[in-house]
Amino acid sequence: MFDKLEDLAARFEEIMNELAEPGTASDPERMTRLMKEQSALQPVVETYERYKKNRQNIEDCLTLLDEEKDEEMREMLKEELSDARAKEAPLEKELKILLLPKDPNDSKNVIVEIRAGAGGDEAALFAAEIYRMYVRFAETQRWKTEMISLNESGIGGFKEVTFMISGNGAFSKLKYESGVHRVQRVPETESGGRIHTSTCTVAIMPEAEEIDFHLDLNECRFDVFRASGNGGQCVNTTDSAVRLTHIPTGIVISCQDEKSQLKNKDKALKVLRSRLYELELEKQHDAEAQARRSQIGTGDRSEKIRTYNFPQGRVTDHRIKLTMHRLPEVLNGDLSELIDSLTAADQAAKLLQVNS
């Protein structure tokens, strides 16, 4: 591990020197590549420097303890040595985590698809609440959200909604949210006061660029139709809505959120490219079945991952057996504890695999 860390520290120094060269600024492509590499290496190198300083502190304390005769000074040195030794194991663990293979999609924006599942109107209402939960979480992260398509139910719920979240590290934080979300509560439409169970499915897909997945437009069919919805200048007046069909897979994307047919087409292509990219990733995951089983679920839409229980005010994540009695806060976008716990569990599983 330490040989690798020394190599990374040396590479970081090379990058800093290259960035300081006068000619680098005049080559935007090289500048971008170097800055991206610098950004990736900086947390590792800084943590390694802290580790080396701590190790040096331990060695200095041991040397001084051998030489020091004054009892008061020896007590101070022993205390400092104890503090330094206590820091050593956590720093080593942090370095091991930083050296774990990075998910190449972690820095990407995400496309989120939420669909009402079992439960009729109640499931659609729940899907709308889950949508608002993610929008509020995005706001706390200072990320941008952009609607792509929306199919509403008659009582304010969402049968299906697709939207984009743009921001640094969006996929790294939200990738554990894919799966079946379950709600247990007394629906507004229930007169007998019985608790019902309803579900919605969430799919989190990294936004795929052309460099990630080449989409052959000859395999796509575009149809245009008039947008429908709650009023608006262009609703039911122009053929601005777009239906995109990918012929080989049968995937159909509809987009009518924008007034411009061109913008709707662009959004539909983004979703299709990301869907196809996700299918490719799933094939890779299936080929690495053992590695996938060792990690926290990050993509199976049929996996029941979380229950939101209203009578008890609790949220339970079934993958890591975590229960929190903070349901209102979670639905208001306070997902940090859940996401941090899932990330830590995934890292622990990967470390166990590396060490086994």
Q: What CATH code is carried by the domain that includes residue 12?
A: 1.20.58
| Residues 325, 193 within the same domain | yes
Report yes or no on 149 lying in a domain.
yes
Q: Which of 104-108, 117-121, 285-289, 324-328 is predicted with the least confidence, judged by mean pLDDT?
A: 285-289
| Residues 290, 166 within the same domain | yes
Question: Which residues touch 49 (CB under 8 Å, ≥6 apart)?
Answer: 9
Mean pLDDT of 174-180: 93
Band of the pLDDT at 151, cuts 50, 70, 90? confident
What is the residue range of 12's domain?
A: 2-98
Report yes or no on 104 lying in a domain.
no
Cβ-contact 118, 187 below 8 angstroms:
no
Count: domains in the chain: 2
| Residues 93, 116 within the same domain | no
Strand partners, 160: 115, 151
For the whole model, what pTM was predicted? 0.69
| Residues 166, 191 within the same domain | yes
| Residues 33, 177 within the same domain | no
Mean pLDDT of 327-336: 96
Which of 98, 132, 152 is a domain's end point?
98
How high is the pLDDT of residue 290? 47
| Residues 215, 320 within the same domain | yes
| Residues 136, 31 within the same domain | no
| Residues 256, 145 within the same domain | yes
pLDDT tens track for 251-304:
888 887 777 788 888 888 888 888 887 777 777 666 545 444 444 554 455 678
How high is the pLDDT of residue 50? 93
Paired tokens of 192:
């007998």
| Residues 92, 120 within the same domain | no
Band of the pLDDT at 234, cuts 50, 70, 90? very low
How high is the pLDDT of residue 329? 96
Q: How far apart are the first and last CA of the chain?
A: 15
Which of 98, 128, 157 is a domain's end point?
98
Which of 71, 98, 125 is a domain's end point?
98
Q: Which of 159-163, 207-211, 219-223, 346-350 is predicted with the least confidence, judged by mean pLDDT?
A: 207-211
Report yes or no on 320 lying in a domain.
yes
- The CA-based angle 118-175-97, given to 5 degrees, is 145
Band of the pLDDT at 55, cuts 50, 70, 90? very high
